Structure 1
């Protein structure tokens, strides 16, 4: 579990988000699942998804 603190003067972008990463072996390699809780309401789901996808792509490049 990871706690990420968003600091902003605008309260819709501020707060504490909890990220839980799960790593599991699958026949194709490794499945990484990220569950995010308490995402600040000002962060659009689409933008958050793009950021997480980028993180996972960078992790894949790093580990290959």
Structure 2
């Protein structure tokens, strides 16, 4: 679990968001599920979902080159 604190002059962009990562075996790989709660209401939902969806791909890329 990760917590991100957003400080902003506009209260609709301020708050504490919690990201919960779940890993589960899936065939020859791993299924990664990321759940975000407490997302500030001013954050565009579609943009946020796209950003969260890209996180596992970035993690996989990092893991493949970390050898």
> Size of the alignment, in residue pairs?
64
Instruction: Give the TM-score normalised by structure 2.
Output: 0.86
Structure 1: stretches of 5+ with no match in the other structure:
none
Q: Root-mean-square deviation (CA), in Å? A: 1.0
Matched, 1:13 2:13: yes
SS at match of 1:55: helix
Instruction: Give the TM-score normalised by structure 1.
Output: 0.90
Partner of 2:41: 41
Report the Cα distance in structure 2 between the residues aligned to 1:28 and 1:39, rounded to whole angstroms.
33
Deviation at residue 54 of structure 1 after TM alignment:
2.1
Report the Cα distance in structure 2 between the residues aligned to 1:11 and 1:3, rounded to whole angstroms.
18
1:29-60 CA-to-partner distances (Å, cap 9, x unmatched) read 00111111110000111010111122221111
Query: Pairwise mapping of residues 53-64 of structure 1 onto structure 2 (< 5 A)?
Result: 53-64=53-64
Larger radius of gyration: 2
Structure 2: stretches of 5+ with no match in the other structure:
none
